[in-house]
Amino acid sequence: MKIKSYELFQVPPRWLFLKIETDEGITGWGEPVIEGKAATVKAAVDELMEYLLGKDPMHIEDHWNVMYRAGFYRGGPILMSAIAGIDQALWDIKGKYYNAPVYQLLGGLARDKMKVYSWIGGDRPAEVGAAARKMAEQGFLAVKMNATEELQYIDSYEKIDAAIQRIAAVRDAGGPGMGIGIDFHGRVHKPMAKILAKELEPFRPMFIEEPVLPENNEDLREIAQHVAIPIATGERMFSKWQFKTLLKDGYADIIQPDVSHAGGITECKKIISMAEAFDVAAAPHCPLGPIALAACLQVDATCHNAFIQEQSLGIHYNQGSDLLDYLTDKTVFQYRDGYVDIPSQPGLGIEINETHVRKMAAEGHNWRNPVWRHTDGSVAEW
Ligand SMILES: [Mg+2]
């Protein structure tokens, strides 16, 4: 079998889909994207696909190593997302060739179904209590929310109080059993992260996420010793070599590699398995589209330490187009009692509605995250 051609589709709300075709009529889909830089990743996929055209799609491990190692320069969000989407499409092809879901080729199921969580409250969290109640009514066992808006290195306790009130409302609405993920989004610098984390402790969060920016991961030590809340991070880390340092340091409890950002199925399976040896859990990042989610679930299914999956249905970014819109069979992501079944059809286990993809690609998107500034005009982390 040979890779014959490929196509890229920049589709709303902010995604990029890749379709790889083979000379045997088997096609594979991937989602190579970094939010806000879809066109840049697209250019990187074009460069990488030059090598892959005419090659046997089955040699995934070798292709991965060529894409990663043989370009001399490596790593980072753009290149690793480009590799990720291509890798997903190659696994989709392999699964379809063997008439098996990807999880079978990775060793088989470690679980029957996967717990999922839903986003509430948007970028500037508000009305989260009512939103949490709605999610609980829909059967979700866990939600995630942003902790705060922008926060200065040293900021007011009013903002801390406001954050605590919102989280109290979520705990109140969701009850003691609801898992609450609280995303600091790298918006919080170390001095305020310590304070905020300490104040959150009584509400028993499921985890705090990116309490500091990944480039400041050494600060996790102080936070980990300061509070008894699981610390999650990793959506802005892109390879096993980056995760190696995090795991060796020992202050993260949950890693969140993104299967569309961190080298795809091939790399994320290795990253998560590496974490298992450190007794660290995994909650793969996925505020993206249906191909990315399917790829996550194929990996989750085979990883003992994967405990919950992010998914984007109804997320604040999905304006106008949502997770299920590009699927022929939307029941594949039907959530029941807080869980989703592992897609069991061949390959990634989903069927893409290509007619809809083509229609929406003609519309396209130019999604960018907002630029935030503090009151004094300095740039704030978003
Ligand atoms: Mg996050």
Alpha-carbon span 32 to 262, nearest angstrom? 10
Contacts of 62 (CB under 8 A, 6+ apart): none
For the stretch 298-349, pLDDT in tens is 999 999 999 999 999 989 899 899 999 999 999 999 999 999 999 999 999 9
Residue 34 within a domain: no
Per-residue DSSP letter, 101: B
For the stretch 225-279, pLDDT in tens is 999 999 999 999 999 999 999 999 999 999 999 999 999 999 999 999 999 999 9
What are the angstrom distances between the C-alpha of 270 and each of 10, 106, 178, 183, 300? 29, 11, 30, 25, 12
What distance in angstroms lies between residue 176's CA and the mean position of ligand 1's atoms?
A: 23
Q: pLDDT exceeding 70 applies to what percent of the chain?
A: 100
Q: What is the pLDDT of residue 125?
A: 78
Q: What is the pLDDT of residue 122?
A: 83
Q: What is the pLDDT of residue 127?
A: 86
Q: What is the pLDDT of residue 97?
A: 98
Would you list the DSSP string of 337-376?
TTEEEPP-SSBTS--B-HHHHHHHHHH-----PPPEE-TT
> What is the band of 124 on the pLDDT scale with cuts at 50, 70, 90?
confident
> What is the band of 179 on the pLDDT scale with cuts at 50, 70, 90?
very high
Residue 248 within a domain: yes
**CATH number, position 244:** 3.20.20.120
Alpha-carbon span 78 to 200, nearest angstrom? 34
For the stretch 30-76, pLDDT in tens is 999 999 999 999 999 999 999 999 999 999 999 999 999 999 999 99
Residue 18 within a domain: no
What distance in angstroms lies between residue 224's CA and the mean position of ligand 1's atoms?
A: 18
Residues belonging to the active site: 185, 285
Alpha-carbon span 88 to 80, nearest angstrom? 12
pTM of the model: 0.97
What distance in angstroms lies between residue 312's CA and the mean position of ligand 1's atoms?
A: 12
3-state SS, residue 379: strand
Q: What is the pLDDT of residue 126?
A: 77
Residue 365 within a domain: no
Q: Give me the domain span that covers residue 235.
A: 109-344
Which residues sit with Cβ closer than 5 angstroms to ligand 1, an ion? 183, 209
Residue 233 within a domain: yes
In a 13 Å sphere around the CA of 165, the CA atoms on its Cβ side amount to 9
Cβ atoms within 10 Å, residue 217: 21
Identify which of 38, 146, 140, 118 has the alpha carbon closest to the alpha carbon of residue 312. Answer: 118
Q: pLDDT exceeding 90 applies to what percent of the chain?
A: 97
Which tokens is 104 given? 């079978």
Would you list the DSSP string of 32-48?
---TT-HHHHHHHHHHH
CB contact at 8 A, 41 and 81: yes
What distance in angstroms lies between residue 57's CA and the mean position of ligand 1's atoms?
A: 33
Residue 116 within a domain: yes
What distance in angstroms lies between residue 236's CA and the mean position of ligand 1's atoms?
A: 9
> Quick one: average pLDDT of 69-98?
98
What distance in angstroms lies between residue 62's CA and the mean position of ligand 1's atoms?
A: 31
Residue 327 within a domain: yes
Alpha-carbon span 53 to 7, nearest angstrom? 12
Residue 31 within a domain: no
Q: What is the pLDDT of residue 248?
A: 97
What residue type is 181 in one-letter code? Answer: G
What distance in angstroms lies between residue 186's CA and the mean position of ligand 1's atoms?
A: 8
Number of domain units in the chain: 1
What are the angstrom distances between the C-alpha of 96 and each of 31, 145, 293? 17, 37, 18
Q: What is the pLDDT of residue 166?
A: 95
Cβ atoms within 10 Å, residue 137: 9
